């Protein structure tokens, strides 16, 4: 990536405080990306890719890398919390398209938060005998209060939870190595060049893709990042690298320690893996899974509130939604609206309905982002701030790979 510095290097003024350095940005990005995805999806991926599950996660990371690079350039070209909505406005000069894209982003964040809230409530219910709706409401209210408290406090808590959930994955890796689990073949043995095997890995890659969603949320805290032109691209790259290495290792260990058929039918697949490699009760790892889901909800609510704030600042939503509280430095009204929406969806719909279609909507947004960068670069639309610059073929491949993954969802068996 190159750094382009224009004649005027002025970042638009913002009411948000720049309090996030590179370490906290990486913790935030890793937290929202690792999230609950790997804890839930490894079973489904193993069901389609079998012993080649590690290749499915590697494929998803490869596809994601192009879009991550496009986000890195756009986030530094337009360092505003509206993220994708701002990119569409810059590329197409259309308020309607900008608002529609922002609405897609809002919907994705809210629905994902509601789905993970229900997933977390299900895990907690195994430990505490309370009604799921009551637990879900408690999760939303408690994490909404944290998100309203302040971005630094939210990210620091998310960072702590990230260390716990990432520590759980590292614990599996260390235990597998210590106990002598032979997972090298799952990493190094290439899949056969047969249609059945390759189509299974491709569809599993589509499922694994959802586990990588989250790095793009860094674009929505760009106004609160210190030196965003330097730290946002690095945070995105490090987030993707850390999660890719963890996912590939965990996938290889999982299918080596537990038969893929058993993993695919388990509601808590990583708990089975943990028990197999460490010999410790699955309940211990279920507690870590609860932490993971809470972290994902907190990160999603924080991000979505910033999208509401950014859209209000640009006039796509009522200005009142973008008001920043002078003491906390956070958009309280936006956060409250997000809390309400997440709570309503979590109470009104089952987990399966909430999760359905989230990956496709996210891929659609990613395709739009790559298209925006292509149009901006081809039409030589300038920027008023210093920004990184990626080769033009990167957004082109990002667009193509996103479209191919969308198509594969409809043609896969």
Crossing angle for the helix pair 132-149 and 282-313, to the nearest 10 degrees: 50
Q: Are 34 and 166 spatial neighbours (Cβ–Cβ below 8 Å)?
A: yes
> Which residues have CB under 8 Å from 7's CB, separation 6+?
none
- For residue 213, which phi and psi values (nearest 5 degrees)? -65, 130
pLDDT band at 19 (very low <50, low <70, confident <90, very high): low
* Residue 12 included in any domain: no
Question: For residue 393, is it within any domain?
Answer: yes
pLDDT at residue 386 in the model: 57
User: Domain range holding 130?
Assistant: 18-411
Cβ–Cβ contacts within 10 Å for residue 348, how many? 10
The tokens for 310 are 């950014």
Summarised one tens digit per residue, pLDDT across range 1-17 is: 555 544 333 344 445 66
Predicted pLDDT of residue 7: 33
The pLDDT of residue 61? 93
If one counts every other C-beta atom within 10 angstroms of the C-beta of residue 279, the result is: 9
Mean pLDDT score, 46-62 = 92
Angle at 388 between CA 387 and CA 391, to 5 degrees: 135
Q: What tokens were used for 155?
A: 């990210």
Residue 10 lies in a domain: no
Q: What is the mean pLDDT of the chain?
A: 82
Rounded to 5°, the CA angle 36-41-42 comes to: 115
Cα gap 226→223, rounded to integer Å? 8
pLDDT at 158: 67
Instruction: Tell me the C-alpha to C-alpha distance, in Å, between residue 163 and each of 21, 24, 48, 170, 325.
Output: 17, 12, 30, 10, 29
Place of tokens 């409250």: 336
How many structural domains is the chain composed of? Answer: 1
* CATH code of the domain containing 177: 1.20.1740.10
Which tens digits make up the pLDDT trace of 98-107? 888 878 888 8
- Report the pLDDT averaged over residues 325-348: 85
CB burial class (10 A; 0-12, 13-18, 19+) of residue 188?
exposed
């Amino acid at each position: 990536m190159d750094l382009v510095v224009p004649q005027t290097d002025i970042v638009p003024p913002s009411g948000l405080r720049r309090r996030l350095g590179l370490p906290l940005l990486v913790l935030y990005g890793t937290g929202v990306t690792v999230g609950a995805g790997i804890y839930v999806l490894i079973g489904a991926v193993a069901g389609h890719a079998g012993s080649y599950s590690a290749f499915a996660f590697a494929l998803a990371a490869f596809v994601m890398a192009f879009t991550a690079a496009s986000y890195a350039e756009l986030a530094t070209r337009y360092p505003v919390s509206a993220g994708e909505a701002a990119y569409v406005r810059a590329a197409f000069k259309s308020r309607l398209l900008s608002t529609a894209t922002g609405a897609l982003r809002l919907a994705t964040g809210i629905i994902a938060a509601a789905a993970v809230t229900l997933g977390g409530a299900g895990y907690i219910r195994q430990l505490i005998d309370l009604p799921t709706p009551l637990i879900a409401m408690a999760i939303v209210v408690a994490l909404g209060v944290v998100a309203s408290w302040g971005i630094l406090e939210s990210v620091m808590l998310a960072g702590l939870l990230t260390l716990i959930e990432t520590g759980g994955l590292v614990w599996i890796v260390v235990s597998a190595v210590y106990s002598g689990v032979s997972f090298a073949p799952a990493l190094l043995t290439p899949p056969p060049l047969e249609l059945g095997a390759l189509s299974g890995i491709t569809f599993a890659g589509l499922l694994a893709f959802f586990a990588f969603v989250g790095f793009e949320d860094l674009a929505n805290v760009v106004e609160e990042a210190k030196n965003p032109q330097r730290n946002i691209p690095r945070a995105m790259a490090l987030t993707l690298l850390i999660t890719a290495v963890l996912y590939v290792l965990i996938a290889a260990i999982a299918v080596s320690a537990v038969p893929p058929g058993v993993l695919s039918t388990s509601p808590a697949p990583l708990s089975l893996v943990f028990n197999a490699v460490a010999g410790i009760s699955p309940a211990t790892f279920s507690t870590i899974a609860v932490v993971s889901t809470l972290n994902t909800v907190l990160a999603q609510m924080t991000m979505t509130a910033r999208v509401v704030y950014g859209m209000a600042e640009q006039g796509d939503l009522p200005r009142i939604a973008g008001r920043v509280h002078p003491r906390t430095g956070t958009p309280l009204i936006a956060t409250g609206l997000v809390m309400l929406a997440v709570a309503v969806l979590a109470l009104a719909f089952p987990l399966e309905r909430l999760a359905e279609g989230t990956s496709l909507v996210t891929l659609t947004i990613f395709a739009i982002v790559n298209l925006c960068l292509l149009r901006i670069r081809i039409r030589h639309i300038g920027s008023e701030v210093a920004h990184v610059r990626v080769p033009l073929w990167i957004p082109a491949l990002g667009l193509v790979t996103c479209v191919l993954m969308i198509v594969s969802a409809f043609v896969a068996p």
